[in-house]
């Protein structure tokens, strides 16, 4: 049976780091079944208290310690549960690597089956699996998503068991990094003095464990001036926007890349008229930003230098434009990717030693979808016939009919994610590079073989690409029941 189920969905980059298939080690064969439940503990009178729904907090921060309670039970006679003492249990995260889960804490059950995990939240294990990815500037998301559960591995006389899963957001610690130059604008041939400072969230200067600096593509060797303070001097500057990049890492802090720009321009001996404007004052994420302007005089080989920073001061877009013969110029780009965040932005324009600064806002306006319409969605068999029922172990195709109503060809990636009743991802797959010509429709399908009975939520996304997750259309949802 197939039923529609509208859901409030939020597209996040973390979809891309979900596992393709959620699996855990094969259950050991033993004479007694077991049951592990998180959130239960005993009070001073020996009574069982607690609530499995609140076993773990929804948000944790690196550096915190959390006590996670639980109970391990056995079913020796097949009818009545009894405490299982001296059982080794683990608290694990499977969201980012189900085949090789991260062990967060271990514990042993007491004579009544109760145990408590002392979870010291650390960033090291997550860094090793690449959860804290290097980004240009800031990370795409402030929080990392964890999918946590308790596990009892079993022994020769007891079967393996797992608790229900919990979604927990991990908030990493981040160093406050500033990259400053001794001048706002340089003349061609000058050298820039660049100072980089690292501070904790409390404002204390601190040295990173690892630091690399680049001026353009070339590595530079910074000089340590004091605790948390480094500097270097650039080579003589050519007319351009030069990029400074800093890579750094410190124990229990997010590994990141920060960058800044240095602008050098030829100064004219005559008065310069520079004008630039944006096509609007406020934009929504995913929209096209267009900068137009005029310069006077027009000198052959001279460039208009454009530098755009997001609210964090991070470089979002920079480059140079050659003015037309009449002095007009144009520069455009789309507000997409992990650095496209809401807030007040700044755009700086430079020409022949003259510089102006403009600002604009990026708000949480409705995302501007390209006109890809999902005309229908359905489940099909391997020859494209619609299925009303889905059998256990049988391939099922998750298909959507996509139509292009634009006057230009649109390329997209078709993504399907299937989650079980507890919210675990059991399948994540995609088809890249689907090209839709104007007034054309296609019916892509991704197949999945259900291994267990139950309810499953299906989410269908149409993105520009995996690397650039801009929605081409609103997501679709289905619900599948495997009887």
Could you tell me the residue ranges of all domains in the chain?
Answer: 31-171, 173-265, 271-365, 372-482
C-alpha closest to that of 147 among 106, 107, 91:
91
User: Same fold for the domain at 271-365 and the one at 372-482?
Assistant: yes
Fold for the domain defined by 271-365: Immunoglobulin-like (2.60.40)
Span 253-262, average pLDDT: 85
Q: What percent of the chain has pLDDT over 70?
A: 86
Residue 4 has pLDDT above 50, yes or no: no
Distances (CA, A) of 355 to 40, 111, 114, 184, 237: 64, 75, 68, 10, 17
Q: What pLDDT does 240 receive?
A: 92
C-alpha distance from residue 260 to each of 34, 158, 187, 433 (Å): 56, 59, 18, 33
What is the reported pLDDT for 346? 96
- For the domain spanning 372-482, the CATH number is 2.60.40.10
Report pLDDT digits (tens) over 281-335.
899 877 889 999 999 999 998 999 999 999 988 889 988 999 999 999 999 988 8
39 sits in the region (left: phi over 0; alpha: psi -120 to 50; else beta) called: left
- Say whether pTM exceeds 0.85: no
Protein fold of 31-171: Immunoglobulin-like (2.60.40)
Residue-level pLDDT at 276: 95
Task: Count how many residues are written for the chain.
Answer: 483
Banded model confidence at residue 99, pLDDT cuts 50, 70, 90: low
Query: Would the pLDDT of 421 be above 70?
Result: yes
pLDDT at site 456 = 86
For residue 16, give the DSSP letter: G
Q: pLDDT per residue over 122-131, tens digit each?
A: 766 555 444 4
Q: Please determine, looking at this structure, whether the domain spanning 173-265 carries the CATH number 3.30.420.40.
A: no
Looking at residue 255, what is its pLDDT?
A: 76
């Amino acid at each position: 049976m197939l039923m529609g189920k509208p859901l409030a969905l939020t597209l996040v980059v973390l979809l891309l780091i979900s596992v393709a298939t959620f699996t855990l080690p094969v259950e050991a064969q033993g004479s007694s079944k077991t049951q592990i439940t998180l959130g239960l503990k005993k009070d001073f009178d020996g009574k069982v208290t607690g609530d499995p729904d609140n076993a773990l907090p929804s948000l944790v921060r690196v550096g915190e310690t959390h006590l996670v309670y639980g109970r391990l039970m056995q079913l020796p006679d097949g009818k009545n549960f009894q405490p299982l003492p001296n059982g080794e249990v683990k608290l694990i995260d499977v969201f980012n690597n189900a085949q090789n889960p991260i062990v967060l804490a271990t514990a042993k059950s007491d004579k009544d089956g109760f145990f408590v995990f002392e979870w010291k939240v650390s960033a090291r294990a997550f860094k090793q699996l690449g959860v804290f990815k290097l980004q240009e500037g800031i990370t795409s998301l402030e929080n990392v998503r964890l999918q946590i559960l308790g596990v009892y591995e079993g022994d020769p006389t007891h079967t393996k068991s797992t608790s229900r899963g919990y979604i927990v957001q991990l908030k990493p610690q981040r160093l406050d990094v500033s990259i400053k130059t001794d001048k706002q604008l340089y003349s061609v041939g000058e050298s820039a003095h660049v100072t980089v400072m690292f501070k904790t969230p409390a404002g204390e200067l601190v040295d990173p464990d690892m630091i690399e600096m680049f001026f353009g593509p070339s590595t530079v060797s910074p000089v340590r001036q004091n605790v948390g303070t480094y500097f270097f001097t650039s080579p003589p500057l050519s007319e351009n926007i030069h990029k400074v990049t800093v890579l750094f890492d410190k124990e229990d802090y997010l590994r990141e890349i920060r960058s800044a720009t240095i602008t050098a321009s030829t100064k004219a001996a005559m008065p310069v008229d520079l004008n630039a404007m944006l096509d609007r004052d406020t934009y929504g994420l995913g929209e096209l930003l267009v900068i137009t302007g005029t310069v006077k005089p027009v000198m052959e080989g001279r460039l208009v230098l454009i530098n755009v920073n997001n609210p964090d001061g991070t470089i979002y877009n920079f480059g140079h434009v050659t003015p037309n013969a009449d002095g007009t110029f144009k520069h455009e780009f789309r507000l997409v990717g992990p650095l496209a965040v809401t807030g007040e932005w700044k755009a700086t324009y430079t020409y022949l030693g003259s510089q102006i600064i403009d600002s604009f806002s990026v708000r949480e306006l409705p995302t501007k979808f390209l006109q890809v319409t999902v005309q229908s969605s359905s489940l099909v068999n391997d020859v494209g016939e619609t299925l009303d029922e889905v059998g256990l172990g049988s391939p099922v195709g998750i298909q959507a009919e996509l139509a292009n109503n634009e006057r230009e060809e649109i390329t997209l990636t078709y993504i399907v994610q299937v989650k079980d009743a507890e919210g675990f991802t059991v399948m994540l797959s995609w088809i890249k590079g689907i090209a839709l010509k104007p007034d054309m429709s296609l019916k892509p399908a991704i197949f999945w073989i259900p291994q267990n009975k139950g309810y499953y939520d299906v989410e269908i996304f149409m993105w520009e690409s995996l690397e650039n997750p801009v929605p081409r259309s609103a997501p679709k949802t289905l619900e599948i029941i495997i009887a």
